[in-house]
Structure 1
Amino acid sequence: MPPPSRTPPRPHVARTAGPPPPREPVGTRHPGGGGQAVRATVKDAGGNTIGSAYTTCDRNDRTAETHTAFCTGLVRITNGAGNASGEISFSAVLPLDDQATVPEAGAFTGVANGGTKAFDGITGETRFLLRSANSYDLNFG
């Protein structure tokens, strides 16, 4: 019997890696996909820092109508509610605007691939909600 799905505290992820890459014309070719890695600070709903997030994205679809990137990531919570700690792995196809690598979509869904410690057995959706240009709310499970 699989373990019950656990819903961790709803972390607010604030991107901490510098400004977005420069804008490029639609259809610009990127040999090898043009990847990007980001480290972010994870905060709880009250704005307290509770961990870090690490993502790697690779642009994989770019036409005049669509622009997406496949991203994998890890949220490491070190001081969550009730001193919860552990890691959550996720993946998602990130919708981007048609001329930059800056997320445009207000909300999108990915997959929670699993977790460790307090988040052991977590699976299901990873929901992303854009708060500002460099900040998302994440909800797992």
Structure 2
Amino acid sequence: MRRTITVKRSVGFAAAALVVGTVGALSMPALASTTDSYRTAGVPSITLDFTGTNDEGAVANAVGANFGGTGRVKDTHGAVIGTAYDQCDKDSVKPTSTEAFCTGMVKLDDGDQLAFTTTFPIPNTASSYPQSFEGVITGGTRRYEGTSGEAHFVARSAGIYDLNFS
């Protein structure tokens, strides 16, 4: 038996595809507005305290030397509100400072997380503090899902960093 597709059926299929595509497109703004609401969630200013928990001082002072650790995350009043994790690689070693590339994550006690990367100077003398440098927010979870932007660091002393997001 031979079947022939008529123009009427072809148009009907195209119309159905157009309706499905239109419905899908109309539902996208709702998804986008949900994501936008995550991006506007206020990311708190925090302090990362890696004193006594980071092994930077114990590794070779050479390009390619890796170090990392965990630190306490504190709010602006000094209360511990989470844990910070970092993994770093020394990329430049000079007489006055060492530069390292780090990836890090802040895990707050409520389960929310923020991730960042940065290249930062590690002064070889205590008199080089405070020192400012920038990083990139690479993402977040839950309340901070879709978060992106800049991470502003101020190194107050060895292992202590004030961190603001924008």
Same fold (TM over 0.5): yes
Partner of 2:44: 9
Which of 105, 109, 114 aligns to 1:74? It is 105
Q: Which blocks of at least 5 consecutive residues in structure 1 are unaligned?
A: 80-84
CA-atom RMSD in angstroms: 2.7
Larger Rg: 2
Q: Is the 8 A contact 2:112 2:142 kept in 1?
A: yes
Structure-2 change in CA distance of 1:131 and 1:96 (3 Å): closer
Normalising by structure 2, we get a TM-score of 0.66
For the residues of structure 2 that align with 1:44 and 1:72, how far apart are their CA atoms? 21
Q: Give the corresponding residue for 2:164.
A: 139
Question: 2: CA distance between counterparts of 1:138 and 1:74?
Answer: 12
| Range that drifts further, 88-97 or 63-72 | 63-72
**Greater helix proportion:** 2
1:70-97 CA distance string (max 9 Å, x none): 1000000114xxxxx4100100001123
The 10-residue stretch of structure 1 (113-122 or 128-137) with the greater mean CA deviation from structure 2: 128-137
Q: CA deviation at 1:121?
A: 1.6
- Aligned pair in 2 of structure 1 residues 122, 132: CA closer, same or farther (>3 Å)? same
Looking at structure 2, the residues matched to 114 and 22 of structure 1 have their Cα atoms a distance apart, in angstroms, of 30
Which stretch has the larger CA shift, 47-56 or 123-132?
A: 123-132
Asked if 1:124 corresponds to 2:155, the answer is no
Per-residue deviation, 1:5: 4.0
Of 21, 25, 28, the match for 2:57: 21
* 1:75-94 pair list within 5 angstroms: 75-79=106-110, 85-94=111-120
CA contact (8 A) 1:95 1:105 kept: no
After superposition, give the CA deviation of every residue in 1:89-128 in whole Å (9 maximum; x if it has no partner).
Answer: 100001123x58xx86611000000100111121110110
Going from structure 1 to structure 2, the CA distance change for 1:118 and 1:21 (only over 3 Å counts) comes to: same
* Identity between Structure 1 and Structure 2 (%): 30
When normalised by structure 1's length, the TM-score is 0.76
- The structure richer in strand per residue is 1
Aligned residues: 128
The answer on whether the counterparts of 1:5 and 1:123 sit within 8 Å (CA) in structure 2 is no
Contact 2:54 2:68 in 1 (8 A): no
- Gap runs ≥5 in structure 2: 1-31
CA distance in 1, matches of 2:121, 2:130: 6
Q: Structure 2: which amino acid aligns with 1:54? A: Y
